[in-house]
């Protein structure tokens, strides 16, 4: 029996009730993968229950994408990490080999040459374990796509939003300025992130203890500790309808209440990676920053654009109230 054809690139897309976006994403991906040659895309439908799986499967068949695209219906919605892990496991289980995995959000449109730009960069820099591209808004404006790791000072600065302090403690800010050339960074957005297969071999898969948010940051931090570097490659561009699949930033809900799983993921990230004491200090810093921001809004007549009940929810779901209670062990097995 012939061995399965080698796949040098696996593209993983996790869908949840976003069939139209996912099909549109696949349409922009089709010519890019055709130009690469050995490539495959797996769409995991996270138990949408709204007909998404059927619609995507029908589109794959009708548009002639069956040679490179596959739909896997998940039995339950385990979140972003679980969905991507299902795609990777399916590829491994079929005996196919890949050099790279591209995590791609379904609410993205791939710009021409985007995938090739990341592949070329990774091949030219074999010491790089992870690389992410530049996300753009529909109007072409760049979105923040590269970051420093979350830290105590950065958490406070992010909530105070005072320019003078940002300049004074710039090296602690989580968000990095928009870049024009490739640059080494701490982490990149999981909406458009390429991972060398060796990274999975060394540290395991994404941690399924996260439902949504912070999972890519956790994964990249684990990779950093294992000796891999992460780079931002701005020549690789995708248009990103930011927040459309999670619902946090959908039209008309920009200021909606932050879901509880965001706070749970934040707590998990700090406790598992930095310990309870540091997590407590970080929550205190964030609360102080939020309180000072609210005072500035009252004193200066500024618009408080925080999500409703944000400080209350941070206290309710955060480590100050819950400590390490209920945190699942890491779930990263291939």
* All structural domains of the chain with their residue ranges: 9-142+178-240, 260-321
> CATH number of 9-142+178-240: 3.90.550.60, 3.40.190.10, 2.40.30.10, 3.20.20.140?
3.90.550.60
> Would you state the pLDDT for residue 109?
98
> Would you state the pLDDT for residue 4?
53
Q: What is each CA distance from 140 to 109, 137, 237, in whole angstroms? A: 12, 5, 10
Q: What is each CA distance from 207 to 79, 180, 200, 202, in whole angstroms? A: 10, 31, 11, 14
Tokens at 294, concatenated:
């609210």
Whether pLDDT at 60 is above 70? yes
Instruction: Tell me the whole-structure pTM to 2 decimals.
Output: 0.94
> What is the rounded CA–CA span in Å between residue 263 and residue 211?
11
| Exposure string over 251-276, b if 16+ CB within 10 A, otherwise e | eeeeeeebbebbbbbbbbbbbbbbee
> What is the rounded CA–CA span in Å between residue 198 and residue 129?
8
Confidence band for 261, pLDDT divided at 50, 70 and 90: very high
Q: What is the pLDDT of residues 266-283, one digit of tens each?
A: 999 999 999 999 999 999
Closest residue by Cα to residue 53 from 18, 105, 87, 88: 18
pLDDT average, residue stretch 296-312 = 93
pLDDT average, residue stretch 136-140 = 94
Q: Report the percent of the chain where pLDDT is more than 90.
A: 90
Q: What is the pLDDT of residues 194-245, one digit of tens each?
A: 999 999 999 999 999 999 999 999 999 999 999 999 999 999 999 999 765 5
């Amino acid at each position: 029996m012939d061995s399965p054809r080698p796949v040098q690139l696996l593209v993983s897309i996790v869908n949840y009730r976003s069939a139209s976006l996912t099909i549109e994403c696949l349409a922009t991906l089709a010519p890019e993968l055709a130009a690469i040659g050995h490539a495959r895309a797996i769409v995991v439908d996270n138990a949408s229950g709204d007909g998404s799986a059927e619609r995507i499967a029908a589109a794959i068949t009708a548009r002639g994408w069956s040679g490179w695209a596959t739909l896997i219906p998940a039995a339950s919605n385990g979140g972003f990490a679980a969905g991507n892990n299902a795609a990777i496991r399916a590829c491994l289980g079929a005996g196919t080999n890949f050099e790279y995995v591209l995590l791609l959000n379904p609410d993205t449109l791939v710009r021409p040459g985007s995938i090739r730009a990341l592949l070329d960069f990774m091949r030219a820099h074999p010491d790089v374990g992870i690389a992410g591209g530049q996300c753009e808004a529909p109007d072409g404006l760049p979105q923040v796509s590269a970051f420093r790791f979350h830290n105590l000072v950065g958490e406070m600065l992010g909530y105070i939003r005072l320019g003078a302090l940002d300049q004074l403690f710039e090296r602690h800010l989580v968000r990095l300025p928009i870049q024009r050339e490739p640059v080494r960074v701490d982490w990149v957005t999981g909406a458009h992130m390429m991972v060398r297969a060796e990274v999975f071999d060394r540290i395991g898969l994404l941690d399924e203890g996260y439902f949504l948010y912070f999972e890519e940051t956790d994964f990249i931090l684990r990779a950093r500790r294992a000796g891999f570097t992460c780079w931002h490659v701005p020549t690789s561009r995708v248009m990103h309808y930011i927040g459309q699949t999670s619902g946090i930033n959908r039209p008309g809900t920009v200021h909606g209440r932050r879901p509880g799983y965001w706070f749970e993921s934040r707590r998990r990230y700090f406790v598992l990676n930095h310990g309870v004491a540091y997590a407590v200090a970080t929550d205190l810093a964030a609360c102080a920053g939020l309180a000072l921001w609210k005072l500035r809004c009252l004193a200066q007549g500024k618009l408080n654009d925080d999500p409703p009940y944000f400080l209350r929810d941070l206290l309710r779901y955060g480590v100050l109230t819950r400590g390490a209670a209920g945190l699942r062990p890491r779930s990263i097995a291939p």
